[in-house]
Amino acid sequence: MTATYSNEPIFSAEAAQTALQSEDNQIRYYAAWWLGKHQVQESCTALCEALFDERYRIPSGGYPLRRQAARALGQLKNPQAVESLIKACNCDDFRLREAAIQALAAIGDKRAINPLLEMMQSNQKQPYEALIEAFATLEVDAADSLIRPYLNDSSERIQCAAARYFYLMTQQPQYLQRILKYLNHENMYVRWAAVFDLGAVARYQAVEAILNATVPSSLKLLNLKRILETLIDSNTPEKETSQIVFQAIDNLLIQL
């Protein structure tokens, strides 16, 4: 039986899960976003099913609902989604593969490591920036030799991701300096990428660099929050750096 939906605004988890079965693709897309935004854990199975939806496909060949379902699963951080996300990485939709990789990194389950290593070594073009960032998050030592060539990639964003990986794995300042130099890049998207890479580095130098970067305050706040969360979750939090981050966030909020 086909599920029906009345086009009423989504204000509850139940309404969002019902909307995910709508005949209207835009409503289904919004429902997937809502479920991820509100981290509705009971929607994990339905979102995993949406990863393989065939109804919503755009002329260029991509699957918008699948991509949004992957992003939502990354927000849920539910290990039950790992196998489905790994399977979704085999899709020919490049952006879906990127979203699925990012979701696997967010979940942090080690089952993703070998499939991601296989992707890195495949002959198919891959979302290398997302892959390298995932290896950094998952702390994959085995990716070292695979990532090293990307320190000199033609893409500055991929170079930043590689530098982020090696800094987090080695703590050698030369890799942090590689990221910092891109904060003054003429391309704002490269600057933004560098700030996001610094957001993964919970160090005082990263905080200071983010505050001085020529990027919107909203991006500064987002990445300072990421650093603060990392420091709080750390077994040996840097109290002085945490206090600096708290003060920086307060100052930015006043300016908004």
- Please say whether the beta carbons of 107 and 82 come within 8 A: yes
Distances (CA, A) of 142 to 13, 43, 117, 118, 147: 40, 34, 8, 12, 10
User: Tell me: the pLDDT tens digits for 55-74?
Assistant: 999 998 899 999 999 999 99
The Cα–Cα gap between 46 and 191 comes to 37
| Percent of the chain whose pLDDT exceeds 70 | 95
User: Tell me: the pLDDT tens digits for 225-241?
Assistant: 999 888 887 765 567 77
pLDDT at 235: 63
Distances (CA, A) of 150 to 100, 116, 193: 21, 16, 15
pLDDT at 246: 87
Above 70 in pLDDT, residue 176? yes
- Which pair of tokens denotes residue 149? 């060539």
The Cα–Cα gap between 242 and 204 comes to 9
80 exposure class (CB count in 10 Å sphere: 0-12, 13-18, 19+): middle
